[in-house]
Structure 1
Amino acid sequence: MTTATATHDGERAATPRSRSRAAETAVRTWRDTSGKIAVVLLAVLVLLAVFAPLLAPHDPTAQQLAAANREPSWLGGAGGHLLGTDPLGRDVFSRLLYGLRLSLIVGVVTATASALLGLLLGLLAGYYESTAGAVLMRLADVQFAVPFVAVGVALAAVVGPGVVKLMIILAIWGWVNYARTIAATVSQTKRMEFVTAARVVGARTPAILLRHIAPNVLGPVIILWSTSAGVLVLVESALSLLGLGVQAPGFSLGSMLSDSRTTLQMAWWAAVFPGIAIMMVVVAFNLLGDALRDAFNPSARADQDPELW
């Protein structure tokens, strides 16, 4: 009896424990080339932003008019400025690190707020598709018909410029993409047997939505979030160029572009390097979105590259 029990325990211990769905998705994302590039690039950008106070060689807001428009040190510029100085003599590299921090915060926080709002409204629209869903989807159609630039400029002009106000506007405006995608999936999921069984045993609607339906729509939400974060960095940069984003003394990558556009011929580095940083952020999030899409839908990728899976 003891030997049989020991053998059974040994077999059970030798049996590999199955990974959770989240772990499997993470592994698939990392195996993807785009996923590796995105994770490494985002990790580098986040570390640069987090440790900006330690890495920045100069005060990012200190103005030295005598050192205005100096070339980068590797192009022969004096003063030891790695990426040169802007028209006000501020160190571009130091400002880049701090501006990257604010741009990442705007992109990630705003995309997360939009995702949560879109998830909630998408669940309601798909579950109550003939009542609340009809109203929300018509509202979404109207919002899609209006260019965001015009609305963003109008709202920013009414409520005033500022990064917090801009983030609120972007978060509220971004719910549509999530809700429209989620509503269709929820409409199909609520008719499945496990949802019907939950209703039969007396589960309340909030519990059904959060415990049984929401986990089935998290994949599209995460994919949309990853791409939206990069897009929102671009939107913030565009509005900052119009003077409706971050206001002095604060600054972001977009406001750095705005500050340097009038002296582009004299100090091209003050605009080019922030532009490259914005491009890297957007590319990283887009690559992450591509890798997550393949990870959540491995069958499509397996058809293209069976050995990978």
Structure 2
Amino acid sequence: MNGAKTTPGSTGSQQAPAPRSASRSREIMGRVWASPTGKISLVMIAALVLIACLADQLVTHNPTAQVLGQTNQPPSWMGGEGGHLLGSDPLGRDVFSRILVGLRLSLLIGFLTATATALIGLTLGLLAGYYERFVGGFLMRVADIQFAVPFAAVGIALAAFAGPSVVLLMAVLAFWGWTNYARTIVSLVGRTKRLDFVTAARTTGASPVRVLVRHITPNVLGPVIILWSTSVGTLILVESSLSLLGLGVQPPGFSLGSMLADAQKTLRLSWWAAVFPGMGITLVVIAFNLLGDALRDAFNPALGSMSEHDPELT
């Protein structure tokens, strides 16, 4: 008779494998979804994106058709003619349909420009923080100069030189916003590169590119993602401001910002042509600002719990 017994911890024991820890991104998104602010922001953003994607199926009128016999019509629920749910603008175009289609271009400008800005700012911030003495000093001086120059003046000059266009607008916004990212992460990169695991990677022969991409970038992505989420709404506001100056989206294209620009001249006759697009911009900005708050608390749970007890920390 074999009297051998397996003891807990012996190789013969049958134990369930330890569960793998969730990835960092899944953990962050779980914290975002677990917070009320995160749920509200994600639902709002998902709804806005869905509406923008299905705009062609949801419109009730041709958004570019001008019906001069129905100009400045109030919303149908205010007695307006023509079945315009949110009224018509000074050229007889349906405001509701234009908001749906214009939302798509506004979100596209915000998403693409914010992403391009984040990539440029992350790259230059990594270089400035890793090569502090020469590259970092030069880039930070460039950032200081750029902060001192009004963006509106640069936009007007470029529009006068090359003509206003959506591509030019997005390019200018992308290259102009890198300073916020670079200045935010440059000191964090400088501290991270002196940590033991980064020093060990350099000692074993890892190239600067590998050190930056593999070891430093994951540790500075938090502030970049938070800045990205809040800058989407900010860039849509900037585009709206430039459209008011005639530097934004040009006809026949239109966005929520250009709709505001078109309606400012006849505000007394058709206030709905300005108020409802403005409400659309407000919803977009609120949704992405709430997402930024939820991401901030998710990346730093201690700060979120402290702010609940001390409102002055928020």
Does TM, scored on the shorter chain, surpass 0.5? Answer: yes
Q: What is the match of residue 148 of structure 1? A: 151
Task: Name the aligned partner's letter for residue 30 of structure 2.
Answer: V
Distance (Å, rounded) in 1 between the aligned partners of 2:51 and 2:97: 11
Deviations 1:253-288 (A, max 9, x none): 011011111111111100000000011111111111
Q: What is the match of residue 67 of structure 1? A: 70
Distance (Å, rounded) in 2 between the aligned partners of 1:280 and 1:129: 40
Provide structure 1 residue ranges, at least 5 long, that are not aligned to the other structure.
none
Provide structure 2 residue ranges, at least 5 long, that are not aligned to the other structure.
310-314
Scaled by the length of structure 2, the TM-score of the pair is: 0.93
Q: Which residue, 94, 98, 101 being the options, matches 1:98? A: 101
Q: What is the match of residue 312 of structure 2? A: none
Write the mapping of 1:28-39 to structure 2, written as runs, cut at 5 A: 28-39=31-42
Distance (Å, rounded) in 2 between the aligned partners of 1:6 and 1:44: 54
- Give yes or no for the alignment of 1:88 onto 2:91: yes
Q: What is the match of residue 176 of structure 1? A: 179
Structure of larger gyration radius? 2
Shift of 1:154: 2.0
User: Are residues 227 and 2 of structure 1, via their aligned partners in 2, closer, same or farther at CA, if it must alter by over 3 Å?
Assistant: farther
Q: What is the match of residue 45 of structure 1? A: 48
Distance (Å, rounded) in 2 between the aligned partners of 1:304 and 1:142: 35
Shift of 1:7: 5.7
Shift of 1:47: 0.7
Task: Name the aligned partner's letter for residue 61 of structure 2.
Answer: H
Q: What is the match of residue 228 of structure 2? A: 225
Q: Which range moves more in the overlay, 236-245 or 145-154? A: 145-154
Query: How many pairs does the alignment contain?
Result: 303
Write the mapping of 1:62-211 to structure 2, written as runs, cut at 5 A: 62-211=65-214
Deviations 1:199-226 (A, max 9, x none): 1111011000000001111000000001
Distance (Å, rounded) in 2 between the aligned partners of 1:2 and 1:59: 81
User: Are residues 8 and 152 of structure 1, via their aligned partners in 2, closer, same or farther at CA, if it must alter by over 3 Å?
Assistant: farther
DSSP-derived class of the 2:251 partner? coil
Task: Name the aligned partner's letter for residue 47 of structure 2.
Answer: V
User: Are residues 305 and 266 of structure 1, via their aligned partners in 2, closer, same or farther at CA, if it must alter by over 3 Å?
Assistant: closer
Indicate if the aligned counterparts of 1:157 and 1:244 stay in contact, CA closer than 8 A. no
Task: Name the aligned partner's letter for residue 23 of structure 1.
Answer: R
Q: Which range moves more in the overlay, 115-124 or 149-158? A: 149-158
Q: After the TM superposition, list the runs of 4 or more consecutive aligned residues in structure 1 that deviate by more than 4 angstroms.
A: 1-7
DSSP-derived class of the 1:202 partner? coil
Shift of 1:20: 1.1
Q: Which residue, 226, 242, 267 being the options, matches 2:270? A: 267
Distance (Å, rounded) in 2 between the aligned partners of 1:305 and 1:244: 42
Task: Name the aligned partner's letter for residue 223 of structure 2.
Answer: P
Indicate if the aligned counterparts of 1:38 and 1:287 stay in contact, CA closer than 8 A. yes
Task: Name the aligned partner's letter for residue 237 of structure 1.
Answer: S
Q: Percent identity?
A: 64
Indicate if the aligned counterparts of 1:61 and 1:90 stay in contact, CA closer than 8 A. yes
Distance (Å, rounded) in 2 between the aligned partners of 1:101 and 1:198: 45
Indicate if the aligned counterparts of 1:84 and 1:92 stay in contact, CA closer than 8 A. yes
Indicate if the aligned counterparts of 1:190 and 1:196 stay in contact, CA closer than 8 A. yes
Task: Name the aligned partner's letter for residue 298 of structure 1.
Answer: P
Distance (Å, rounded) in 1 between the aligned partners of 2:251 and 2:284: 23
Deviations 1:28-74 (A, max 9, x none): 11122221111111111111100001001111101100011111111
The RMSD of aligned alpha carbons is: 1.7
Task: Name the aligned partner's letter for residue 208 of structure 1.
Answer: V
DSSP-derived class of the 2:133 partner? coil
Distance (Å, rounded) in 2 between the aligned partners of 1:206 and 1:36: 37
Indicate if the aligned counterparts of 1:257 and 1:275 stay in contact, CA closer than 8 A. yes
Task: Name the aligned partner's letter for residue 8 of structure 1.
Answer: Q
Q: Which residue, 234, 239, 251 being the options, matches 1:248? A: 251
DSSP-derived class of the 1:8 partner? coil
Write the mapping of 1:18-33 to structure 2, written as runs, cut at 5 A: 18-33=21-36
Q: What is the match of residue 14 of structure 2? A: 8
